[in-house]
Amino acid sequence: MVTQKMIAEKAGVSIITVSRVLNTPDKVKPETRILVERILKEYQYTPNQIAQSLVSNKTSIIDVYIPEYIALDNPFAMYFIAGISDALSSQLYSFSILRNLNREHNCDGYIVTGLLSNEFVPVWEYAKSRNRPMALFGHVALPGVDCIDVDNVIGACEITERLLEAGHRDIVMLNVTEEKDYVHDRQMGFYRAFENKSLIGEGKAIGDRSDIEVVQCSNSSGSAFYATKELLNRRQPTAIFCATDTIAIGVVQAIYEKGLSVPEDVSVAGFDGLGHHLLTQPQITTVRQPIYEIGKMLAEALLARISGKEESFKNVLLKPQIIEGKSIGAATHGTGVKGNAD
Amino acid sequence: MVTQKMIAEKAGVSIITVSRVLNTPDKVKPETRILVERILKEYQYTPNQIAQSLVSNKTSIIDVYIPEYIALDNPFAMYFIAGISDALSSQLYSFSILRNLNREHNCDGYIVTGLLSNEFVPVWEYAKSRNRPMALFGHVALPGVDCIDVDNVIGACEITERLLEAGHRDIVMLNVTEEKDYVHDRQMGFYRAFENKSLIGEGKAIGDRSDIEVVQCSNSSGSAFYATKELLNRRQPTAIFCATDTIAIGVVQAIYEKGLSVPEDVSVAGFDGLGHHLLTQPQITTVRQPIYEIGKMLAEALLARISGKEESFKNVLLKPQIIEGKSIGAATHGTGVKGNAD
DNA sequence: TGATGCAATGTTAACGTTAACATTGATTTC
DNA sequence: GAAATCAATGTTAACGTTAACATTGCATCA
């Protein structure tokens, strides 16, 4: 390994002069500077980052904590990581993915995801004890943390309103059988759209949703395929709102298999916008969670905090955007709100 | 930050005794050891990895070089990264993803992918000049590198043979319009299956493939959907071999839309096995590239080399495995090899 | 009883870099 | 012409850890 010491000896100067040529060249006589630069180049000197880190107490590494229960090989993780990677590499930072906190690792800051608010406290204390800033995908009531989260309720509400505005009144939601916040929130958003349009059955209290059908299946297109076949054997809604695009793929297939068309016979709406919505024909109109952008924003927020450029802490709740596909059409059959027709 | 120096002062011992308690506790008198351990715990001492790295010249970090032209948000990259991550985290190693080599970064070794053999030489020299081992996804004729690659020819050949053994003689391949090695290799494998079964049209030289139809489309399910519709409007082969599972998804949709069934009317075979084959109904029988496992094996090979446990260098060409779906059935129509029927 | 061995602990130096302070010699200032 | 200034460079110490060698004091042995 070529060190500053070796360069200094070759050039007949002291180590610190070499260091100055590298860091503050203006403070070195041009003659000396040119000599040292020539030797640096000749011996292909590269600084030892480790030694620099020891002095500066900076590593140029961000630790990204993704708990082990989140598979790295799903679109969520990959978009998140891609966003972080792009934000950091432009600033000459790199990152390490941590799957647990068993191990010491020196870094300049943490990006954290996949935690419920109560799980977050120990991680927060961990970062605080190391005096490192932290940015969180999620929202939490702890001070000194940059937070960004997605509003699943609004996303589900808006795309459901979209279906309602296209004239659909008999909309079935295919939701996931998982006890996660996002599952609950998307169903709430679905209901809220009916409430906003005052389409909850007359004479029923706001909040009485027994007249709106929600079918459950697991989050796979195969499960959605069978659930949809069963549904279509029973009756034919004018639209299906799918809690995820993975589900929507199975729904579209089941509609085809039934000899029906999308969107002519049944409209389909999805949620996630992480690539699966592009796989069907027609492409699915969906709600996009900007995971890539969130990863990028979190990384940028963290870098701003590290550099001291930013004073106030972010606390953002993003409104997800509707991505236009071709899977939503005008309602061509049906009898209005199913509850009203009963 | 709590350092060994602070612990030493509190315990009334020298720094090196603290270091010994941490590294070689047997060499410390039990009495002293217990005292120091108590204070270490009380002040929540954690070692400074940077300082350790400076002394040991080891970082416990592997640099994973994925050139910028490979999007991190595709299944290939994500499975690759997941495999590496799992192999490394069990050994208390972490990794950094490098998107270019503009920047110095201290690491214990390199994992490299996505390079053609000529692009690989400078990267190889880069690693060699830093005296760090390297493991490559690909194959190359350079010494001192662990290599693992997938045999696309054999994979395509075997799944095509599978179709031939099911009685199919009129098989169309839907290939990608990209000038990449894998595209060429999969088409070669497709042809080879016919040659192996001596099904290249009678009276034609081995290698004359004008009687086997290959349709091209871009690597998206929408493009495959339209290409397949056009194909089915012309004629109905008994099976379609798709160069990628993304294409296979569009093919299945087009078959449905035509009012036909998979595999009753048309069998479908795919390639990749990175998740998309699970999205259709029926699930696609495909050839799986074990990307996750390759990432894992490369990481393990690198760790073995770093630890000096391994002498000889790996040079593996993996045979991809067929993943059973339900998309291949017996041939129920058709007239044998299309060329013969002409 | 003095030499030998050994367990326990300490001192010094090293890893490669940079910050803070020190020195040198030439130039400017009053 | 002595004092002050300044550019150029050097010396020392520091970051936190560990390796190599040194010391101490006690027990063992001939």
Distances (CA, A) of B312 to B140, B214, B309, B315: 16, 42, 10, 9
User: Cβ B106–A49 below 8 Å, yes or no?
Assistant: yes
In chain B, ranges of CATH 3.40.50.2300 domains: 61-150+291-320, 152-289+324-341
Q: Measured CA to C1', what is the nucleotide nearest A45?
A: C16
Q: Residue A337 has what pLDDT?
A: 42
The whole-angstrom separation of Cα B119 and Cα B137 is 13
For residue B339, is pLDDT > 50? no
The whole-angstrom separation of Cα B245 and Cα B269 is 8
- Name every chain A residue with its beta carbon within 8 A of the beta carbon of B244: none
Has domain A61-150+291-319 been given CATH number 3.40.50.2300? yes
Architecture of domain B61-150+291-320 in this structure? 3-Layer(aba) Sandwich (3.40)
The whole-angstrom separation of Cα A172 and Cα A169 is 9
Per-residue pLDDT of chain A (342 residues; tens, 9 = 90+): 899 999 999 999 999 999 999 999 999 999 999 999 999 999 999 999 999 999 999 998 899 999 888 888 788 888 999 999 889 988 888 888 888 877 778 899 999 997 766 778 888 888 888 889 999 998 888 888 999 999 999 999 999 999 999 999 999 999 999 888 889 999 999 999 998 987 665 545 555 677 789 999 999 999 999 999 999 999 999 999 999 999 999 999 999 989 899 999 999 999 999 999 999 989 999 999 999 999 999 999 999 999 888 788 999 999 999 999 999 999 876 444 443 333
With bands split at pLDDT 50, 70 and 90, how would you rate the model's confidence at B340?
A: very low
Size of the A and B interface in Cβ pairs below 8 Å: 139
Q: Residue A341 has what pLDDT?
A: 34
Task: Report CA Rg, chain A.
Answer: 27
Least confident of A79-83, A113-117, B211-215, B276-280: A113-117
From residues 142-161 of A, which are strand C contacts by CB within 7 A? none
- Kindly give the pairing relationship between strand A134-137 and strand A109-112: parallel
Name the residue facing A54 among B51, B81, B257 (closest C-beta).
B51
For residue B200, is pLDDT > 70? no
The two three-digit tokens of residue A201, written as one number: 């059955």
The two three-digit tokens of residue A287, written as one number: 């709600």
Mean pLDDT of B197-203: 63
With bands split at pLDDT 50, 70 and 90, how would you rate the model's confidence at B327?
A: very high
Looking at mean pLDDT, say which of A191-200, B205-214, B269-278 comes out highest. B269-278
- Covered bases, chain C (protein CB within 7 Å): 7-12, 14-20
B83 Ramachandran zone, left/alpha/beta (phi>0; psi -120 to 50): alpha
For residue B281, is pLDDT > 80? yes
Could you report the per-residue pLDDT of B14-43, keeping only the tens digit for each? 999 999 999 999 999 999 999 999 999 999
Name the residue facing B281 among A72, A103, A225 (closest C-beta).
A225
User: Cβ B105–A82 below 8 Å, yes or no?
Assistant: no
The whole-angstrom separation of Cα B94 and Cα A185 is 35
C1’ C23 / CA A29, Å? 17
Nearest C-alpha in B relative to A103:
B92
Mean pLDDT of B296-316: 91
Could you report the per-residue pLDDT of B118-134, keeping only the tens digit for each? 778 888 888 888 889 99
In chain A, ranges of CATH 3.40.50.2300 domains: 61-150+291-319, 152-289+324-341
User: Cβ A222–B275 below 8 Å, yes or no?
Assistant: no
The whole-angstrom separation of Cα B256 and Cα B264 is 11
Has domain B152-289+324-341 been given CATH number 3.40.50.2300? yes
Q: Closest Cα partner for A163 from A278, A290, A327?
A: A327
Q: Under a CB-based contact definition with an 8 Å cutoff, are residues A113 and A136 in contact?
A: yes
SS (H, E, C) B27-70: HCCHHHHHHHHHHHHHCCCCCCHHHHHHHHCCCCEEEEECCCCC
Non-local CB neighbours of B48 within 8 Å, separated by 6+ positions? A54, A106, B1, B3
Cis-peptide, bond into residue A122, ω within 30° of zero: no
Q: Residue B101 has what pLDDT?
A: 78
